Amino acid sequence: MKIIVSAGGTGGHLYPALALVDYIKEQRKDAEFLFVGTTDRLESQIVPELGYPYKGLYVKGMVGNPLQKMKNGLIFVNSLRHSKKILKEFQPDLVIGFGGYPSASIVLQAAKMNIKTMIHEQNSIIGLTNKILINKVDKIICCYRQAYDQLPKEKTMLLGNPRASVVSHKRLDNIKPMYNIPQSKQIVLIVMGSLGSSSVNAMMVEALKQMQHDHFDVIYVTGKNHYDDMKKELGKLSQSIHLVPYIDDMPSHLANVDLVVTRAGATTLSEITALGTASLIIPSPYVVANHQEYNAKELVDAKAATWILEKDLSTDVFVKTVKTLMNDQQVLKMYRNNALNLGKPNASEDIYKEVVRLVGGK
């Protein structure tokens, strides 16, 4: 079994791809993989470091003024020629696209060459790359009902995000000793992504001061770029406030906290639902097609979470919402149970079955 996997631009595309590849490797020791991504983004560094063969495509998004779009269109045509060369050399049984510009090139060219193709859509709003590919591919996998309802039913399956399988089967450590938090105490985890959020950080300075004497501890992930400034802004707080720049083992934290306050990235929400973590979601409005709000809405509508839209965010609203939730164990339990009902802990296994069906006995 030989598979090309393409995931470009962001961790939201890349990490589900890596999770699926790792699972397939466990099932098929003889499976061969080639990653295709950009020449200069996240995947071009991470994938080779993990030991996977990698090919970079020079591609640009269709953005900018008309002249720039025309230039980028010519770059795309050239990437199709490069993709054809890659496909002829590797001779894959299947090409799987997880989104990002290079996925359009390699998957589209594979379809033209009658190679089996699959795409994975992580968000509730279908990305531009996958919109281009919908009518060309053999199989579509999605994570949200809203996306599923927009896709051709005869070849679409609602199977979830492979990252859910990783966290649901991972050994999860008890994080309380790491922060010297008593076992009996509740925890609120606040994380706005690996880089943090300057707009949320500004509000959090006063919010953390107001929450430092409550019955719960707060772990606040500032983002690496904001950590030093936040420490200076906050000064000395009580021992119940734990400021960290970044968390490596997020699944263990999600499994050990009573409430997580987070953005609505596809990978994050797949982990929350796989583990059954109660959440307060603040969707980022600074994303394509406002897709985080739509991602979050699926959890909110299922009573698996609550949210505050950033336009409505203030210190008073935030603190009141967190304190109300932390004083209502019945609501937190409802969110946990309903999140688990939405989770897809066997996503990798289910997607692998579709891979096997597509490639037959290869």
Say if CB 273 and CB 340 are below 8 A apart: yes
Please give the pLDDT value at position 335: 98
Please give the pLDDT value at position 128: 85
φ, ψ (nearest 5 deg) of residue 34: -135, 125
CA–CA separation, 59 and 100 (whole Å): 10
What pairs with residue 34 in β-bridges?
A: 4
Handedness of CA 175, 177, 179, 181 (dihedral sign): positive
Confidence band, pLDDT 50/70/90 cuts, at residue 99: confident
For the chain, helix (H) and strand (E) counts, in that order, are 16, 13
Span 161-185, pLDDT tens digits:
999 998 988 888 999 999 999 999 9
Q: Does residue 361 surpass a pLDDT of 90? A: no
**Coil, strand or helix: which one is 324?**
helix
Strands 156-158 and 94-97: unpaired
DSSP category for residue 116: E
Order of all β-strands in the sheet with 306-307 = 241-244, 216-221, 186-191, 259-262, 279-281, 306-307
Confidence band, pLDDT 50/70/90 cuts, at residue 52: very high
What's the mean pLDDT when you consider all of the chain?
A: 91
CA–CA separation, 159 and 142 (whole Å): 6
CA–CA separation, 147 and 270 (whole Å): 15
CA–CA separation, 193 and 269 (whole Å): 12
Say if CB 95 and CB 238 are below 8 A apart: no
Mean pLDDT of 138-159: 96
More confident residue, 201 or 39: 39
291: number of Cβ within 10 Å: 24
Say if CB 275 and CB 262 are below 8 A apart: no
Q: Do domains 2-165+345-359 and 176-342 have the same CATH topology?
A: yes
Instruction: Give the pair of three-digit tokens for residue 355.
Output: 């891979």
Beta-carbon-side half-sphere exposure of residue 241 (alpha carbons within 13 Å): 20
CATH tag for 2-165+345-359 (out of 3.40.50.2000, 3.40.190.10, 3.20.20.70, 3.30.413.10): 3.40.50.2000
**CATH code reported for the domain at 176-342:** 3.40.50.2000
CA–CA separation, 72 and 92 (whole Å): 27
pTM of the shown model: 0.88
Span 315-334, pLDDT tens digits:
999 999 999 999 999 999 99
Mean pLDDT of 189-202: 75
Domain borders along the chain are 2-165+345-359, 176-342
Alpha helices in 5-144 (DSSP H): 11-27, 42-49, 66-90, 101-112, 128-133
